[in-house]
Amino acid sequence: MDTLVGDEPVNWLAPPKVPVPAPVADIRTAAPKVAAEPVRRPRPAMDSAPAASPAPLAPLAMPSEWTAFQSWLSGDAAVPGTQWHPARVLPTGPVAAPLMVLALTPEIADHEAGSLFAGDVGQLLDAMLRAIGLTRAQCYLASLALTRPPGGRIDGADLAALTPLMWHHIRLARPKRLLLLGSDLTSLAGGTDLAAARGKLLNVNHDGVTVTAAAIQHPMLLLDRPARKAAAWDSLKLLRL
């Protein structure tokens, strides 16, 4: 075959026909609408209500008369700082003494002897008192706690319970001057650290308590570290009569 023949005539000079594309659906209208799901907030648990604050502790009832106060210290179960040992080491000495010597707790030897500043510690304290013109019998000797806790340390809660007792004790004792033994008592009563108190007289003034004080390391520590005796003397000599 040398000639192409069709059933219909074809106009070979006509422009080609461009096919028309099929219409495209609008996706904004064609997509099905889905209702927005509401945001669900977690419901609080029934047991998540805030706990009620603990009621404040009632003030410690302490006798305001000297003899009654000494009797209270010796036997009342409400006295703070008596829970660590069955035997209490009680203060000794006269009211209105020229010097009140206050320690934080009794030592182990004090419990064995039944009195404060026993053994080698007592001998060192006696020598220190003689150096400023005093004897043990002239001074009022006391410890903040009447029994010694394990390790000799008192934590914050127990120290807070003992603080009102300390101020009440000093107020009733009415010493002319006060000697604080150790860093804890220096901070608690003197409001400063032991290093800053070296060679200075402290003005202890709190809720009716007004007394001049000095602060030194406890004699027990001075026995173990004799090099610190010089710092103790810088403060102790300020109490010299």
pLDDT number for residue 163: 96
pLDDT band at 218 (very low <50, low <70, confident <90, very high): very high
User: What is the tens place of the pLDDT at every residue in 145-187?
Assistant: 999 999 999 988 999 999 999 999 999 999 999 999 999 999 9
Greater model confidence, 17 or 110:
110
User: What is the tens place of the pLDDT at every residue in 81-136?
Assistant: 999 999 999 999 999 999 999 999 999 999 999 999 999 999 999 999 999 999 99
Give the domain range for residue 204: 86-239
Q: What is the rounded distance in angstroms from the CA atom of residue 106 to the CA atom of residue 145?
A: 7
Domain count, the chain: 1
Give the percent of the chain with pLDDT over 70: 76
Residue 229 lies in a domain: yes
Q: Could you please report the per-residue DSSP string of 95-161?
A: TT-S-EEEESS--HHHHHHTSSS-HHHHHHHHHHHHHTT--GGGSEEEESSSSPPGGG---HHHHHH
Residue 22 lies in a domain: no
Give the percent of the chain with pLDDT over 90: 72
Residue 193 lies in a domain: yes
State the maximum Cα–Cα separation within the chain, in Å, rounded to a whole number: 150
Residue 189 lies in a domain: yes
CA 189 vs CA 89, 129, 146, 185: distances in Å = 21, 21, 17, 6
Residue 36 lies in a domain: no
User: Domain holding 230: CATH number?
Assistant: 3.40.470.10
Residue in 229, 231, 227 with CA at minimum distance from that of residue 195: 231
Calculate the dihedral angle through the C-alpha atoms of 230, 231, 234, 239, rounding to the nearest 10 degrees. -110
pLDDT number for residue 83: 96
pLDDT number for residue 208: 83
Helices then strands, each counted (H, E), the chain? 9, 5
First-last CA distance in the chain: 149
Residue 105 lies in a domain: yes
Taking the model in full, what pTM does it have? 0.76
pLDDT band at 43 (very low <50, low <70, confident <90, very high): low
Q: What is the rounded distance in angstroms from the CA atom of residue 174 to the CA atom of residue 3?
A: 142
CA 164 vs CA 28, 148, 232: distances in Å = 79, 19, 27
pLDDT band at 1 (very low <50, low <70, confident <90, very high): very low
State the average pLDDT over residues 58-83: 94
Q: Could you please report the per-residue DSSP string of 74-98?
A: HH-TT-TT-SS-SS----BS-TT-S
